[in-house]
Amino acid sequence: MTRLHLAVALDGAGWHPAAWRARDARPADLLSAAYWADLVSEAERGLLDFVTFEDALGLQSASIDAPDDRTDQVRGRLDAVLLAARLAPLTSRIGLVPTTNVTYTEPFHIASGIASLDHASRGRAGWRPQISVRAADAAHFGRRTIPVLNLDDVRDGRTTEFIGGLFRELFGEAADAVEVVRRLWDSWEDDAEIRDVATGRFVDRDKLHYVDFEGRHFSVRGPSMTPRPPQGQPLVTALAHATVPYEFAARGADVVFVTPHSRAGTATILAEVRAAETTVRREGTPLRTFADLVVFLDDAPGEAAERKARLDDLDGALLASDAEIFTGTPGELADLLLDWRDAGLDGFRLRPGALPHDLTAITTGLVPELRRRDAFRTGYEADTLRGLLGLPRPANRYTTSATP
C-alpha cells in the first residue's frame, strides 16, 4: 500500500477563532518560542513530514479586506521565517515551511532567509509564497494602490473583472519572485566554498554566478549572499483554489495544497492541477498534491462535533473555511483520508481546529490508526524534507561539466 504523507498547518491557538478560549489552550504563550517548540516537537514525535507556519502583513481580521475592531479573537503573530529558524535547532527530522508574502517582500531577501533556514535545519526548509490583495496591506508600503473590497461587492460580482485582473497580475509577479528565488539558490555552486587557509582562498569566485533576471516585476543581478542550501532547492509549496493559482503552482512549486470537499471534488481538482501542468509545460517531477482539512478529533463519537459547537457559540458564528471541516474520531478521519487518497492525492495538510488538543489527537490517535492500516511510516526515512517526499536534489542550473 502507498503510504500517506501528513503535514500540519499551525496558526495561533488553532484554526477556530475561539480556540484560544478552549480549556486546554495556552493563550498566554502564543508569542513564546516555548509554545511553538512544544507544538513542532509533538508533530515530530508523530513522524509528520512537515509543519507550515502562517504569516501575514497585517493583523488577523474577520473582514475580507480591512482590520476589524474585534477583541475576542487572537490578534498578532510572530514572523514565520524567524520562528522556523528558532525551531530548527530544537528539531531534527521534521520539515519547517514558513509562509512569506511576495507582493511586498523582495525576492532577494526571501532567497537568503529560506536558504539560511535550510542551513540552520540541515536540509529541512520549505517555503510557501503568498500574495496579498488587501488594501490595508498595501497601505503599509505605499508601493501600489488597491481599492478596499467589501463582501457585498464580491458577492454581487461588481468587482469580478477587477479582482480577476488583480489576481492575474499578482500571481504573475509571484511567479517571477519564485523564479528569482530559485535562481538565487543556484547562484552558488555546491563546491564554491574552498576555505583553504594555506592558499588564503575562501571561495572560488568562478563558481558564484550572476542570475541576471530581467522581468516585468523584478530586475535582480545576484549572486545571493548565502551559499547554496543543503537541499539545493528547498521545498516550494503553494495553496491553490482555482486555475490561476494552479498554474502558478505548476510553474514554480514542488507541492500544491488544494481544498476539496469530497472524493469526487478531489478527482476534479486533481484533473485541473494536471491540466495546469500541461498548460504551463511543466517539466520534471509532477506536483505533489496535498489536500487541506480543518480537523476536530476526539475518541468518543460525537464529542468533536460538540467541542466545535461550543467554540462556535463562543465566537458567535459557525466556523467557515475554504477547506473541508471534519469532526469525528481518528478512525473516521483515517477512513476519509484513505478514501480521498485513492482519488490520487499524495498526502494531506491537516489544520488543527484547536491547539494543542487536535494536534495531539493527530499524533496519538490518527497516526497510530493509519499505522495499523499500514498507511503511514514507522520512522523517518530521510534526513531532508525533499527526501521525505521522495523528491531528488536538483542539479545546479549554473554548473557546467568540466571538459576532459
Question: What string of pLDDT tens digits covers the 404 residues of the chain?
Answer: 578 999 999 999 999 999 999 999 999 999 999 999 999 999 999 999 999 999 999 899 887 777 888 999 999 999 999 999 999 999 999 999 999 999 999 999 999 999 999 999 999 999 999 999 888 888 888 888 787 766 555 555 445 555 678 889 999 999 999 999 999 999 999 999 999 999 999 999 999 999 999 999 889 999 999 999 999 999 999 999 999 999 999 999 999 999 999 999 999 999 999 999 999 999 999 999 999 999 999 999 999 999 999 999 999 999 999 999 999 999 999 999 999 999 999 999 999 999 999 999 999 999 999 999 999 999 999 999 999 999 999 999 999 754 33
**Is 200 within a domain?**
no
Annotated binding site for FMN: 55, 99
Calculate the alpha carbon distances from 359 to 38, 59, 340 in Å: 11, 24, 21
**Is 115 within a domain?**
yes
**Is 308 within a domain?**
yes
**Is 350 within a domain?**
yes
Whether the link from the prior residue into 301 is cis, omega within 30° of 0, is: no
CATH code where residue 93 lies? 3.20.20.30
Amino acid, single-letter form, for residue 319? L
**Is 236 within a domain?**
yes
Number of domains in the chain: 1
CA 195, 221, 125, 5 dihedral sign is negative
**Is 104 within a domain?**
yes
**Is 356 within a domain?**
yes
Annotated binding site: 55, 99
**Alpha carbon 225 to its chain's center:** 24
Cα separation, 255 vs 397, in Å, equals: 21
**Is 141 within a domain?**
no
Read off the pTM: 0.95
In terms of residue numbers, what domain contains 54?
Answer: 5-130+231-259+285-388
